[in-house]
Structure formats: C-alpha cells, structure tokens
Amino acid sequence: MLTGELRNRIDAVWNAFWAGGIANPLEVIEQITYLLFIRGLDDVQRREENKASMLKTPVERVIFPEGKDGIGKGGGRPYHDLRWSVFKDREPKEMFEIVSEHVFPFLRSMAEEGNLVLFKLIRSKTKFWQILGRGTRLCEDLFGPGLDKECFYVFDYCQNLEFFGQNPALKEAPAGKGLSERLFEARLGLVHELNEWAKQKHLTGMAEDADAFIGENDDPQAPVDDDALKAQTLAVLRDYVAGMNLDNFVVRPHRRAVERFKDEDAWADIGEDARNELLDEVAPLPSERSLGTEPAKRFDLLMLNLQLALLKTSKSFDRYRKQLLLIAAALEEQFSIPVVARQQELILEIQTDPWWDGVTAPLLELVRLRLRDLVQYIDKTKKRLVYTDFEDELGAGTPIELPQIGAVDFNRFKRKARHFLLEHHDNLALQKLRRGRPLTAMDLEQLEHLLLEAGVADRAQIRHASDASRGLGRFIRSLVGLERSAVVERFSEFLDSGATPKQIEFVELVIEQLTDKGAMDPGRLYESPFIDVSAGGPEKLFDLERVQRLVTAIEDVDRSAAV
C-alpha cells in the first residue's frame, strides 16, 4: 500500500487532472505517458550534450535540431522551446499552446511512416481520415539517398476502406513469411527428414555423449536420439496449433484445417497431403503460444536449418556451422555474465573441430536448448551476426572470400591466446599489463616473442590483432583483463565514505568493465548499463570536476597498455 509523501504526490496529480476535467483513469494514464515520453526525449538530448561536452566530440544524436519548426507565424517556434526543461516553467496558457500546436506535431514528424496497416475496426470518419493523413507525410531519403517517399499503401485487414467507400483497386503482392511461420515450416521439415533418415537406416553415433552436458534438473534437456527429437518437435508443433484461437478473424477461414490438427491423432502419420495442408493453411496463422524472444527465435531457426542441412547432407551445412561458430565466439566474450558462464564448457567445445566429428541432430538440439536464451546477451557493439533463411536460384558460381570466415579463425586464435596467456600469468610483462602499470617497448617484444615461440600465433595474426586493437598491449589486455584490486585502487577516490549508494553502484560498473575487458571507452558512461543506474549520465551523480576525473582515470588505464 502506498503511504506518506509518495501517496500525497500521486493524489495531487490525480486532483490536478480532475480539476482540469479529465476523470477517466485511462485518459489520465495516457496523458502522463505522453508527458513522460516528452521529458524522456529531453533527458536523452541533455545526456548526449553532456557526453559531447565531456569528451570534446560532436553531439552524435540530435533530437531537437537548430532552427524553427515552421508552424505558425514567423517560421514557427524554435525547436529549443519544445524541450521539457524549457516549456515546463512557462505560463499555463503558453505551455498548452506549445504542447498542443508544436510538441505533438513534432512527435508525429519523428516517425518515418512508409505504409499504413489497419488492424482494428475504425468507425469514426474523423479518425479514419486522420490515420490516412499520416500516410501522406513526406519522408526524404526513406529508401536511401535521393530515394524519397512518393506514395504509400494501405494494408487493411478489417474492411475499413470498404466501410468508408474508399477501397482502391490494389494489386496483391505476395506477403513475406514471418519468423513464426518459417519456424513452423522448419520444424515440419525436420520431422519429415527424421522419418526419411529412419527409413534409410543411416543412423550414426553422437560426437559427444549428450548426458555429458546435461546439468542440474532445471536445465533444458535435449533428446538423446532421433526418435526423442522427433517426438519433441511434434509436441512443439501440436502445442503451437493448439494455441490458435478459432475466434480470431485470421484463423476463422481456416477453421477446418486447424480443428483437424488440434486432434493429436492427426499427427500420427504426416503424409504428403497433410504436410501441404499444414504448410499452406496452418503455418501462416497466428498462435497464442509464445516461442520466445526474437533473438531466441532467430537462433532456433538457425539451429533447425543446421539440423536439416545435416540430415540432407546439404552444402549449406558449412555456412550454418560458421554462423553458429560466430555466435559461440561472441558468447565467449560474455562469460562475466553468470547465466552465460554456466554454459562455458559447451560454448568452448563447439568451437573445436573434434566436437563436430560425427555430430548428430539430437546433439545440435541440445545446443539450441542451452544457448537460445543466451544470444540476447551478445554485445550489440560487436559486428552484427547475420541470420539467413532464403533460397535463390543459383547461377554460375564465383569464389568469394568472406570476411566473416576470417572472423571465425581470428576468434579461435583469440581463444587459444587467452588460454595460453592465463596459463603464463606469472610472466613479468603480463603482470605489469594486468596491474595497469606502464609498459616498455621491451615488454611488448617479450610478449610477442612468447606467443610466437609457443606457436600460438604467427606474425601476420599478431599484426592483425595489433592493428584491430590499436596496439599489441591493448589486444593482450582485452584477453586477460585487469586485476580487480588494481582497478579498485585506481578508482578508490570515488568509493570514499561520502559516496552515495548510486555513486558506488555506478563506479562498480566501471570497475567490472575494466576488470573483465581491460579497457573501456568513456563514451560507455552514457549508455546502458550505466544509464540504467543514472538516466542522466554521470553528471546526475557527480559534479563536473569529478566526472572529468572519472573520464581521465578511464583514459589513463587505457593508455597504460600502450607504448
């Protein structure tokens, strides 16, 4: 129960809305949401300005540009006046004029609307034309430089155009398949291939015993053979169809097919006709069953395609395998996250060649179950992992060297180098590097000789690593990190007895980043997870002098790895 000052403040807000003639709680929530969003935009702009001022760089993200908005006399109001921190102190009449006639049009102009999708019934003529009016907004460079918006399409799923007598003659275009539909098709294909595999009696052993990776009871359990994998896949398909709501207007026209496959007996023998019916009528339909987050579903699709390529002995197997290796290498960088660290053994084994000898579909299913919820933790600043799931008609083949394949080899080299360096942590030059002490040219030569002599890397790999990390010292430190005690000592002035809990939490995040990664871009102070502690950035927690000292300390740590 809310009591005290917070309760009084909430009551005051409610009374203010009531006095203004707004008594519907939903309208109150809607108005507060708008105000919070407007204030949030101002907070983001201020944080970007503080970041640019502190780091002596241009403002990267400008929400409120220079100039005027072009609404009204004299070219309109300056965009600066639309900021929450500016108009909140104006007189009520002026504030209302700014918000209603300038702020809301400005918010609408932020959205680059290409086409319109009508997915609900509209029976208000005014609202109908307001919505259609959104499609007429111009968007420069919407499809690329010089490719402006010239027209828009209305995708009406509820016959609103017919109702208002404005239904144009539209040429139907084939709709792209959604992610859920592709997952349904992939699982159905997996069941078919497992049936064919069983008929041919080409069963092979697993490269690893699946039980070796089965953890505690609350961990996902992978099937230990093809029959168990088939049963699990069919169970997912049945459950997905069972979640289709027959009252949904999209599902209703396919009621007969959905009702048929809601019956468990219909899945006992999926022949060619049944497969076609499932693919054509059932797969595109929405279900109330959740398949997880989008990253998890995309990973599911990759693993299902990998299983299908294995069973079909397709040439695409190597392509999907390389994508999995890239994901595993990216997850390896996130072992500081406990939930990722629990799968460390599996993530490392995937990146070794022996693991793939005799690999089977059930073992790949184990990987899917164990890693699907971890891909969301992959660092967004890393190179984007591209999931592909399309088929083209192939013409003449041309050999192309893909940089992603080199990235796989480079990640293997990094893993090998990290393991070797941690085993030789008593090396004097390495100890200086981990303790944040300045290095000499002789120290770097010693570390390079250490890697070359042990056969961990050749000169080309070391040169590539040095170029990518702005020096060999920075590269090696990114592998081995920093000793926590040395980092804590460097930032001890920010953890004194006068520090608030929020300040301590903020600085602890800096210490964790430096301990794990060995370096940190000061610009990260204005990004997540730091803004999760202080939405306004470090300036909301510390005075400008202490923020500058914090940035300087981070930069000093980075410079200590250079020569």
pLDDT in the model for residue 169: 43
Q: What is the pLDDT averaged over residues 360-386?
A: 80
Residues linked to residue 78 through DSSP beta bridges, in sequence order: 68
**What CA–CA distance (Å, rounded) separates 29 from 36?**
10
Residue 221 has pLDDT above 80, yes or no: no
What tokens does 258 get? 């959905």
Residue 476 has pLDDT above 60, yes or no: yes
pLDDT in the model for residue 225: 84
Q: Which tops the pLDDT comparison, 467 or 29?
A: 467
Q: Using one digit for the tens of pLDDT, what is the confidence trace for 405-418?
A: 345 567 778 888 88
Residue 128 has pLDDT above 80, yes or no: no
Tally of residues, the chain: 563
Q: Using one digit for the tens of pLDDT, what is the confidence trace for 280-297?
A: 899 999 898 888 888 899
pTM exceeds 0.75 for this model = no
Residue 17 has pLDDT above 80, yes or no: no
CB-based contacts of 17, cutoff 8 Å, min separation 6: 23, 27, 28, 31
Asked if 541 and 502 count as a contact pair (C-beta separation under 8 A), the reply is yes
Q: What is the pLDDT averaged over residues 153-168?
A: 71
What tokens does 279 get? 């693919």
Domain ranges of the chain: 33-110, 116-163, 179-377, 406-480, 484-559
- Taking the alpha carbons at both ends of the chain, their separation in whole angstroms is 60
Asked if 493 and 474 count as a contact pair (C-beta separation under 8 A), the reply is no
pLDDT in the model for residue 269: 81
pLDDT in the model for residue 76: 87
pLDDT in the model for residue 408: 54
Nearest by Cα to 430 from 487, 490, 485, 479:
479
What tokens does 304 get? 């299902």
pLDDT in the model for residue 555: 92
pLDDT in the model for residue 380: 64
**What CA–CA distance (Å, rounded) separates 34 from 37?**
5
Residue 403 has pLDDT above 80, yes or no: no
Residue 211 has pLDDT above 70, yes or no: no
Nearest by Cα to 514 from 476, 537, 541, 486:
486
pLDDT in the model for residue 503: 92
Q: What is the pLDDT averaged over residues 51-78?
A: 86
Residues linked to residue 154 through DSSP beta bridges, in sequence order: 116
3-state secondary structure of 154: strand
Angstrom distances, CA of residue 66 to CA of 55, 108, 342: 21, 18, 50
User: Long-range contacts of range 212-215, CB-CB < 8 Å, 24 or more positions apart?
Assistant: 213/345, 213/346, 213/366, 213/370, 215/342
Angstrom distances, CA of residue 106 to CA of 63, 416, 436, 520: 10, 53, 49, 36
Angstrom distances, CA of residue 157 to CA of 119, 122, 164, 229: 5, 11, 14, 38
Residue 1 has pLDDT above 60, yes or no: no
pLDDT-derived band at 301 (thresholds 50, 70, 90) equals very high
Residue 463 has pLDDT above 80, yes or no: yes
Q: How many CB atoms lie within 10 A of CB 397?
A: 6
Average pLDDT, the chain: 81
Stretch among 16-30, 434-448, 471-485 having the lowest mean pLDDT: 16-30
Residue 402 has pLDDT above 60, yes or no: no
pLDDT in the model for residue 215: 41
pLDDT in the model for residue 188: 92
pLDDT in the model for residue 384: 52
Q: Which residue has the tokens 């009449």?
A: 93
The DSSP symbol for 78 reads B
Q: What is the pLDDT averaged over residues 554-561?
A: 90
Residue 206 has pLDDT above 70, yes or no: no
pLDDT exceeding 70 applies to what percent of the chain? Answer: 84
